[in-house]
Amino acid sequence: MGPEVLLRLDRDGPEPLRAQLEGGLREAIRAGRLRAGERLPSSRELARQLGVSRGLVQDCYGQLYAEGYLTARVGSATRVAATAPARPAPAPAERPAAARLDVDFASGVPDLAGFPRADWAWAVREACRTVANADLHYGDPRGDRTLRRVLAGYLRRVRAAVAEPADIVVCTGFAQGLGLVLRALSRSGVRAVGFEDPGYGQGETLAAVTRLGIEAVPVPVDEGGVDVAALARTGVAAVVLTPAHQSPTGVVLAPDRRHALAAWAADRDAVVVEDDYDAEFRYDREPVGTLQGIAAGRVVLLGTVSKSLAPAMRLGWVVCPPHLTEAIVEEKRLSDRGSPGLDQLALARLIESGRYDRHLRRMRGVYAGRREALAGALARHAPGLRLTGLAAGFHAVLHLPEGVREADVVAAARERSVGLYGMSDFRMSGGTTPGQLVIGFGNLGEPAIERGVAAVADLLTGKPGGHAD
């Protein structure tokens, strides 16, 4: 079957059909609608599409071949010639070239090379083989019922969550999930929401909140997690938290604060939005269950596979308190009618088969090795610096010595092709004190970690030309 091409012929006009066809193809090639190397329909197929004789099309192709617009070989399709004249395309707006970094310690990026391609391909084949015809329709905006059932079981088993399939909404990742929740809260009258500080900084998440007409109120974080007393003083009716592994400090919300937070939500008729972004990866302690598990009626649980599999998956979930389920489902329905169905079925197969758990076990070992490589490299090349937040995930916080300016270290490291990122990026105020770096190691091999630390060790210690023995 040949490709189709849009051409119009005016049978009532004065111009002969052959001239119209030649002119239409020339214009399509000049304008870039048909580009070099693209295949044209066979003369028989184009004649059928246009309702003209095959001989007319053959004569047209022959003329354009002679003019250099087309090329053809015996036994091969007719194609647009590489030398065909074309109007120059408008120059795209220039963007500043991104600096090429030899080692990039960006946080929040998992091991992209570790994506389980073979297991995912198997899961997609299984989903295509077993999907019912009815499930290829739009379906329930909450998401595929099989995936919601599987997720409910997984979250109860692994995260100690209170999860029922009817209260789960499948989304396209954290950004959409948070947007659905905040829009539902906004419609109920919420005008201000608390956010951990440091936390999302002044980036895309806070920009999206502002566009919803919601005020983002900073709430301080210390070694015990979010300051619940400070939260209570803000007067907000909702707060967004990362209690299992605070982003970016890495602290765990202390048990007494968990209970205080649940009491605050109950007393204020407030809602806690729990971003459970990387809790599967813990190393130094027993796994921490969700906050939602102790206050299911007050906590919205957001999760994704962006860290456990890859950001490109664009799959996540919202576990809703029953009183918010209908409103969040309606926001999802109005947003996009539902997330991709076959991908949802494939994820369900991946989890049910045990392949997902096996992948997580493997990646825990990988990240644990990289964590040790980071700590070891710093001990060798920049001894004496404090590194915190290593109990989970794949980033840590490096505390700079007094007198070493965060911005200077970041700028100088980039000149050495090493990407470093300051805590100021995560503070709503943009403040640079105390000087700290958020060091990601998820997408870096151990040799790259060693090389990157060695390249910037003198910057980290504030001792140009070397480091302490």
pLDDT band, residue 449 (cuts 50/70/90)? very high
Tell me: do 196 and 343 sit in the same domain. Answer: yes
Residue 465: per-residue pLDDT: 58
- Give the pairing of strands 386-388 and 395-399: antiparallel
Is 206 found in the same domain as 160?
Answer: yes
Mean pLDDT of 397-425: 96
Instruction: Report the domain count for the chain.
Output: 3
Residue 99: the pLDDT is 67
CATH number reported for the structural domain that contains residue 65 in this entry? 1.10.10.10
Helices (H) and strands (E) in the chain, counts: 14, 15
Domain shared by 254 and 271, yes or no: yes
**Confidence label for 467 from pLDDT (cuts 50, 70 and 90):** very low
Which of 353, 373, 405 corresponds to the end of one domain?
353
Picking from 144-158, 284-298, 345-359, which range would have the lowest pLDDT averaged per residue?
Answer: 284-298
Beta-strand runs (E) in 177-327? 192-197, 215-222, 225-226, 238-241, 271-275, 299-304, 316-319
CA distance 295 to 317: 18
Say whether pLDDT at 234 is over 90.
yes
Check whether 443 has a pLDDT greater than 90. Answer: yes
Structural domain harbouring 394: 103-108+360-461
The more confident residue out of 279 and 302 is 302
pLDDT value for 222: 95
What is the separation of C-alpha 400 from the centre of its chain, rounded to a whole number of angstroms? Answer: 30
Tell me the CATH number at 121: 3.40.640.10
Asked if the model's pLDDT at residue 90 lies above 70, the reply is no
Decide: 374 and 449 in contact? Cβ < 8 Å. yes
Confidence of residue 469 (pLDDT cuts 50, 70, 90): very low
Is 199 contained in some domain? yes
Provide the CATH number for the domain around residue 371. 3.90.1150.10
Do 10 and 54 fall within a single domain?
Answer: yes
Whether residue 68 is found in the same domain as residue 4: yes
Look at residue 425 and tell me whether its pLDDT is greater than 70: yes
What is the CA angle 227-232-235, rounded to 5?
A: 135
Residue 98: pLDDT over 80 = no
What would the mean pLDDT of 42-66 be, rounded to a whole number? 92
Q: Helical H runs in 199-319?
A: 204-211, 228-234, 255-268
Whether residue 372 sits in one domain with residue 223: no
Residues 131, 232, single domain; the answer is: yes
In a domain, 135, yes or no: yes
